[in-house]
Amino acid sequence: MHFFISACPDDKIYVYVNDSAHDRTPYVFVELYADGLQDCIRKCFGNQFCYSLKYDVKAVERCSLYYFAAYNCTSQDLVLANSVQYHGGAITIDCLRCPANGDFGKF
């Protein structure tokens, strides 16, 4: 079953690393394996139902895609997804944007 429908043409996806994320278990759309954080980010970005994600290498399914959308992405400072380093534990990513697709935010 594939839900991947879009991509970022220049692969420059911007994200917000949410250090204060609450439990989003009720909003899980799908949990799946990912080769790493960047793979998980790409899987979320290309999915029409994914608005945020959690990556945790210790989880059975490392990549949790959520249909939970952060409520105020325009006020967040977004960083290039490729620059986000994974240091272990759970990391939550919100506000996935691709300027090449006309997505806007604070870049």
Residue pLDDT, tens place only, 58-79:
999 999 999 988 778 888 899 9
pLDDT above 80: residue 96: yes
pLDDT above 80: residue 51: yes
CATH architecture of 14-101: 3-Layer(bba) Sandwich (3.50)
Spans of all domains in the chain: 14-101
pTM: 0.86
Q: What is the DSSP string of 46-100?
A: TBTT-SEEEEETTSSSSEEEE----S-GGGSB-EEGGGPPP-SSEEEEEEEE-GG
